[in-house]
Chain A
Amino acid sequence: MAKKKFVVGCFDEEDVLFPAVKKVRTAGYKIKDVYTPFPVHGLDQALGMRETSLHTAGFIYGITGTITALGGISWVFVKDWPLDIGGKPHFALPAWIPIIFELTVLFSAVGMVLTFCYLCQMAPFVKKHHFHPRATDDLFVMVLECTDSTNTVEAEAFLTNAGAIEVKTEIAEDGWWFGRYDKDTKLFEQKAVIA
């Protein structure tokens, strides 16, 4: 994993955040992400992010569940071990629909949770850098990714002009790492920039 330099700007108003996002993008800065305490409607579009394909994955998992359930039950009750249950036909579809439905929901739910964790790089003991603790409380935290040619002083001034109430430059781990926060203090110390 590589360490990178970031410029962080904190906003406390949605009305300021949206024009700021627009200004920052027009100015050519690369936004790594905007961390918000709650889902903000329309922010994805403002950031120009592509729509998530999580729901497509969910649909595929659901269909897999449907086929698994239908295939499994019909193999057991029609081919492998046919039983006469209350004089019903062996292929008793209406009676199976609740189970097929349950398996569809189970597959899509578990599959989507795991996919979501994978996409967000979340798992037990996987750690990522927090740019500002108040991102989970009351601040919208915009993080700009810097390149070698980025003038951080200029970028900070730009964010302040755009309405940020707090700005700072940070060198932080870009990806994730295994570990525990209480034993990882040395990771937060500033080190030389690699990228």
Chain B
Amino acid sequence: MASSIKLKFEVPSKMKTWSYALMGIGIVSLIVGLITKGMSHDHHEKDIFLGTLMYNTIYWLMICNTAMFFISITTMAWGSWQISFKRVSEAISSMVPIFGGITLVILLYVAFSGSHIYHWTDSEAVANDPILKGKSGFLNLKFFTIWTVLIIGLWSLLGWRMRKLSAEADKAAMNGETGHKFIIKNTKIAATFLVWFGLTVGSTMPWIWMMSIDAHWFSTMYSWYNFASTFVAGLCLIALWVIYLKNKGYLEYTNQEHLHDLGKFIFAFSIFWAYLWFAQYMLIWYSNQPEEVIYFKHRVQGAYKGLFFLNLIINFICPLLIFMTRPSKRNYTLMTFMSVLILFGHWIDFYQQIMGSISKDHVTLGWLDFGILSLFVGMMIFGVSKALASKPLIPMYHPFLKESIIHHT
């Protein structure tokens, strides 16, 4: 049976062409954007250019990182069903160092260039502002730099260790004892990763990278909201790659049952996201404090009104109604459509979160945003396909592989 399994993924030339084309479009729009907006004398235009880069890179970094989160939670729970397509999640998470490097450069440039995006970098403003002064304990350049480097560094390092350990499952068959040791080792690294993930994505990272754009405003829901947002999108990305590989005749052990469980995850976390969205919105709406409402004022009543509610429709109403039935989660076409829709929806979510704070009066969504998006999509396709080709597609000697093959929902 094993001889008929295709373990080696070969990147189709068509895919390579597509990724180059997308990256080409991206680079052209990046250069045009840099000339027309980035080097403009108008501070506002410059901020828009930097903000566009910021939300795209943070979005893609966080999505790829949630692939490792997905591996880690299933490892911690000794879950076996995802083993048959584990290499797909691993390949996606291998983009973390690359996107992390880009994010690091952009964030440090934004913080140190004296741009107006991070209001708290202006020492004169901080000195005259009791609220910013109160937050200067962690909203300062030193902390920002060290913490950002640590966040991206440890994500990359722990993810790399997890992937390296996973390669052991390709070498030789394991007996009960070595298999047990292998699982325990996996569990330990996964646990370490999850602790760091909780400290970063679950709390500090969205605060210092994104929430600090509105330096006066704060929300305790913000980090979890962003976690839910990117986790759903990350699951959609995994589902898309799984479906693509299935279509090409790879991943023989993965079937509708696994797709159904991915669909359930997407469904559940879409609703979790909506729950956090509502918890954040309702409390602020109800208490109606000026310093809190300021965040929603221009989003709900101003220029961002359309995007704000489109966000809710795409990311909550659509998955809720469409993914409710069992056959819809087992349908490859519908899953593909919904995955693309949700990935786009959460991109819009990130857009309105970051750009809604940078350009409050008018929506800037246009060629630059889609150009930069295509740059990141191109890089993601290129990088993930390369990572997939570098390793066997199925960890043949993983102790849990059999459980994954006979998985039944």
Contacts and interface: CB of A to CB of B under 8 A. Distances in A.
Interface of A: 41-42, 51, 55, 59, 86-87, 94-95, 97-98
Given A41-B408, A42-B408, A94 B324 contact: no
Contacts of B282: 94-95, 97-98
Contacts of A42: 408
Interface in B281-306: 281-282, 285-286, 288
B286 A95 contact: yes
3 tightest A-B CB contacts, nearest first: A41-B408, A94-B282, A94-B285
Contacts of A41: 408-409
Nearest to A42: B408
A51 B278 CA distance: 34
B319 to A, nearest CB: 15
Interface string B316-351: 000000001110000000000000000000000000
The B interface is mostly helix, strand or loop, or mixed, namely: helix
Contacts of B409: 41
B278 A97 contact: yes
Contacts of A87: 288
Contacts of B324: 59
B408 A94 contact: no
A97 B277 CA distance: 13
A21 B352 CA distance: 56
B204 to A, nearest CB: 29
Contacts of A98: 282
B281 A94 contact: yes
Contacts of A97: 278, 282
Nearest to B324: A59
Contact of A86 (B278, B288, B325, B326): B288
A55 B326 CA distance: 10
Contacts of B326: 51, 55
A97 B281 CA distance: 12
Contacts of B278: 94, 97
8 contacts: A42-B408, A51-B326, A55-B325, A55-B326, A94-B278, A94-B286, A95-B282, A97-B278
A14 to B, nearest CB: 11
Given A41-B408, A97-B278, 15 more contacts: A41-B409, A42-B408, A51-B326, A55-B325, A55-B326, A59-B324, A86-B286, A86-B288, A94-B278, A94-B281, A94-B285, A94-B286, A95-B282, A95-B286, A98-B282
A59 B323 CA distance: 13
Nearest to B286: A95
Nearest to B284: A94
Interface in B393-409: 408-409
B235 to A, nearest CB: 23
Of A41, A51, A59, the most chain B CB neighbours within 10 A belong to A41
B144 to A, nearest CB: 34
B301 to A, nearest CB: 13
A131 B385 CA distance: 57
Contacts of A51: 326
A178 to B, nearest CB: 36
B278 to A, nearest CB: 6
Interface in B241-294: 278, 281-282, 285-286, 288
A56 to B, nearest CB: 9
A88 B282 CA distance: 13
Nearest to B278: A97
A53 to B, nearest CB: 12
B406 to A, nearest CB: 10
A59 B321 CA distance: 11
